[in-house]
Amino acid sequence: MISDNSLYTLAVFLGSAAMLLIVLYHFLEINAKDDMKAAPVVSNERKADALPAKAR
C-alpha cells in the first residue's frame, strides 16, 4: 500500500508537471506564427455569393 508521504510526493510532482505543461502550451500558442499561405484567397465575386439574397 502507498504511504501518505509517497502519495503527497506524487501529488506535488504531478501537479507541478501539469502546471509546467500548461505554461509551456500557452507560451508556444502565443508565439506561434500564423500561416497565411494555407488560407485560400477568395475573389470579390465569391464573397458576394456568400451573402443572403436580402443582404444584397
Quick: pLDDT tens for 1-27: 999 999 999 999 999 999 999 999 999
How many CB atoms are located within 10 Å of the residue 43 CB? 8
Rounded mean pLDDT of 37-53? 63
Name the helix (H) or strand (E) containing 40: none
> How far apart are the C-alpha atoms of 25 and 30, rounded to whole Å?
9
Could you give the residue ranges of the DSSP H alpha helices within the chain? Answer: 4-30, 44-49
Confidence at residue 33, expressed as pLDDT on a 0 to 100 scale: 86
> How far apart are the C-alpha atoms of 33 and 21, rounded to whole Å?
20
Task: Specify the higher pLDDT residue, 10 or 32.
Answer: 10
